[in-house]
Amino acid sequence: MTERLKSLLLQWLKVPPEPEAPAGSVGSVKTFRASPNFYKLKLILWAVRQISGIIGIIMFLVFWRETAGRKAPAGVKLAVTIIEFAGIAGFLLHLPISYLLVRLDYEMRWYIVTDRSLRIRTGIWSVSETTLTFANIQQTAVTQGPLQRWLEIYDLEVTTAGGGGGGGHHGQSSGGDSMHRGFFHGIENAPEVRELIQERLRQFRDAGLGDPDEAHHGAGTSSTRASLDLLVAAQELLRETQAVRRAAG
């Protein structure tokens, strides 16, 4: 696959460029990508689908020519022949395009972790970008199916309560659901990534950091309390001044 063809297809599909890092310090940014073996898994599944399509076409042709096609009128035979050629041509045209999409689906995956949050971006036809903050993360889990064990790759699931914030392009998780999940699909070092997330989560909580919205709300509450205290002090000073003036009179 040439970079030129890839660039044209991404431009035609209007796929956004590489995502920006989520909130966090610059030195803490770590980016993970899907393993090459994840691409092999996607390619195996693609090949199974194409073989199934070929078997279906062959079975239809054999059934038609050996049974119904023998007794069909000439006009029907001609129409079926045209449909056969169109179907075969469409299938052959579909092969390189579907392969290219499988390749791009593997390449256009980003898993970014900072000391405050993480961001996951996947997809070609439908671009999904999810940002989860450590303030909401509840648990992490590593899973591995039979083919994944054979290819030595994992899926890492991050679960939050109430949802994580942050900006996104398409398909970003919102606070409408009670639980949100982010998936690091097809990575080969999931246990290490999980430990990194857990370690940064511990550091985040030990530092006493919370959700930025909560911090903003807390700052607003403190400011209001300080204003009330200042008002009370001013009123007390006014009363004392009035008392002194009355005594002097």
The residue written with tokens 């370690």 in the block is 199
Q: In whole angstroms, what is the distance from residue 149 CA to residue 188 CA?
A: 10
Q: Which pLDDT does position 7 carry in this prediction? A: 80
Query: Residue 108: is its pLDDT beyond 80?
Result: yes
Q: What is the pLDDT, as a whole number, of residue 46? A: 95
At 108, list the tokens.
């256009």
**pLDDT tens readout for residues 235-247:** 555 555 665 565 5
Is residue 140 pLDDT above 50, yes or no?
A: yes
**In whole angstroms, what is the distance from residue 190 CA to residue 142 CA?**
7
β-sheet bridge partners, residue 119: 112, 131
Q: What is the pLDDT of residue 61?
A: 83
Q: Say if residue 207's pLDDT is above 70.
A: yes
- Give the closest residue to 119 by CA, choosing from 206, 24, 50, 199: 24
What value does the mean pLDDT take over residues 58-75? 78
Asked if the model's pLDDT at residue 224 lies above 70, the reply is: no
* Mean pLDDT, residues 99-115 taken together: 91
Determine the pLDDT at residue 221. 41
Whether the Cβ atoms of residue 126 and residue 171 lie closer than 8 Å to each other: yes
Distance of CA 181 to the CA centre of its chain: 9
Looking only at the bridges linking them, the beta strands covering 154-161 and 137-143 are: antiparallel
CA atoms within a 13 Å half-sphere pointing along the CA-CB vector of 69? 13
| Cα(103)–Cα(122) distance, integer angstroms | 13
CB 197 within 8 A of CB 158: yes
Q: What is the pLDDT of residues 68-101, one digit of tens each?
A: 666 777 787 788 888 888 988 999 999 988 998 8
Q: What is the pLDDT of residue 4?
A: 77
Which range is least confidently modeled, 100-114, 120-134, 191-205, 214-228?
214-228
pLDDT of 17 > 90? The answer is no
pLDDT above 60 for 175: no
Grade residue 18 by pLDDT with cuts at 50, 70 and 90: confident
CB 187 within 8 A of CB 34: yes
Of 50-64, 182-196, 218-232, the range with the lowest mean pLDDT is 218-232
pTM for this predicted structure = 0.70
- 240 versus 136: which is more confidently predicted? 136
- Least trusted range by pLDDT, from 12-16, 77-81, 108-112, 164-168: 164-168
Q: Give the model's pLDDT for residue 80.
A: 81
Query: Each residue of 78-94: b (16+ CB within 10 Å) or e?
Result: eebeeeeeeeeeeeeee
Q: Comparing 102-111, 174-183, 195-204, which segment has the lowest mean pLDDT? A: 174-183
